Amino acid sequence: MDWHGHSFAFKLRIDVEHVESQRYTGDYRLTKVSVVNLLDLLAELDVKLSFCVLGITAEMFPNLIADIVDAGHEVYGHGMYHEPAFSGRPLNEQRHEMRRMRDSIESACGVKIQGIGCPHHGMADEHTLQAAAEMGITFVESRIRDKDAIVPQWHSVEGTDLKVLVPGGQNRGASDYTDRRPYWAELHEEAFSPTYARQKWMANLDWAKENSLMTGLVVHPWMLMINPGEVQVVKDVIRYAKDEGAWFATVKGLIDLAE
Ligand SMILES: [Zn+2]
């Protein structure tokens, strides 16, 4: 498997979502402070990542989203409001949210997004795929995957002529976490452990390298502000991925691989 000239891939996704910061820490501004700091850190590490941005955050902080793009990173969508999840809602409602998200991000930074990372651990259904396709969004990152595939595969949307790319199911991922959001998406989260996170995230990189696959990691800027030790772990993991020769996956790069 050739990951744009690398033997394995690391998709490090940064979720930019001030409403989640508000909900779990009581302060929406942490997201902005954290992203500003993170942009410096990523410049120092000389790495470009993919930022998954809520439409409402792009509306509230357009300059922040423009700064992410100016720093050379990719942005794609994370829904408009984060709440409620896409799955189970009528098509017209999902379509409306998808359009608002796409337009808010474009007005903030001039980028027409090519993908969406569905919120709530990727809860999505066929209507989500259809709404995305209708809005010109090619890549839908959700629980709907192509089980045996490594790179994204075209998925025909039920009852339409539309197609979107869905992720390959052979890869594995992880997310940061915090005990500030108990029972979130039906999971009880423990307090963040830098030791355990470092071990697990690096082991995922080792696994990806051994198998020539991709591993993902979702990082929440607001968690970087409240989880003791997480900034250092993220830094170490990025350095490790670079040293081991990972391709830092982007939505655009994944679409190229699929085509
Ligand atoms: Zn999120």
- What is the CATH classification number for the domain harbouring 126? 3.20.20.370
C-alpha 53 to ligand 1 mean position (Å) = 9
C-alpha 101 to ligand 1 mean position (Å) = 14
Q: Provide CB contacts within 8 A for 217, sequence distance 6+.
A: 10, 11, 12, 13, 173, 174, 175, 176, 201, 204, 237
Per-residue tokens: 212: 């020539």
Domain count, the chain: 1
For residue 209, CA distances in Å to 176, 188, 219 come to 21, 30, 21
pLDDT tens digits, one per residue of 190-207: 899 999 999 999 999 999
C-alpha 85 to ligand 1 mean position (Å) = 10
Quick check: bond before 228 cis, omega within 30?
A: no
Examine residue 4 and state whether it is found in any structural domain, yes or no. no
Examine residue 185 and state whether it is found in any structural domain, yes or no. yes
Per-residue tokens: 179: 């005990």
C-alpha 8 to ligand 1 mean position (Å) = 25
C-alpha 181 to ligand 1 mean position (Å) = 12
C-alpha 138 to ligand 1 mean position (Å) = 20
Q: What are phi and psi of 8, to 5 degrees?
A: -150, 170
C-alpha 99 to ligand 1 mean position (Å) = 18
Quote the pTM value.
Answer: 0.96
C-alpha 54 to ligand 1 mean position (Å) = 8
Residues of the chain scoring pLDDT < 50: none
Examine residue 146 and state whether it is found in any structural domain, yes or no. yes
Domain range for 49 is: 9-258
C-alpha 29 to ligand 1 mean position (Å) = 16
CA–CA distance, 28 with 22 (Å, rounded to integer)? 4
Examine residue 45 and state whether it is found in any structural domain, yes or no. yes
C-alpha 120 to ligand 1 mean position (Å) = 6
Examine residue 169 and state whether it is found in any structural domain, yes or no. yes
C-alpha 79 to ligand 1 mean position (Å) = 9
Examine residue 63 and state whether it is found in any structural domain, yes or no. yes
Task: Give me the pLDDT at residue 180, please.
Answer: 87
Examine residue 3 and state whether it is found in any structural domain, yes or no. no
C-alpha 5 to ligand 1 mean position (Å) = 31
C-alpha 218 to ligand 1 mean position (Å) = 9
Examine residue 2 and state whether it is found in any structural domain, yes or no. no
C-alpha 219 to ligand 1 mean position (Å) = 9
CA–CA distance, 34 with 54 (Å, rounded to integer)? 16
Tell me the CA end-to-end span of the chain in Å, nearest whole number. Answer: 15
pLDDT tens digits, one per residue of 75-127: 999 999 999 999 999 999 999 999 999 999 999 999 999 999 999 989 999 99
Mean pLDDT of the chain: 96
CA–CA distance, 147 with 134 (Å, rounded to integer)? 24
C-alpha 145 to ligand 1 mean position (Å) = 19
Task: Give me the pLDDT at residue 181, please.
Answer: 81
CA–CA distance, 221 with 234 (Å, rounded to integer)? 11
C-alpha 76 to ligand 1 mean position (Å) = 12
C-alpha 55 to ligand 1 mean position (Å) = 12
C-alpha 185 to ligand 1 mean position (Å) = 11
C-alpha 174 to ligand 1 mean position (Å) = 13
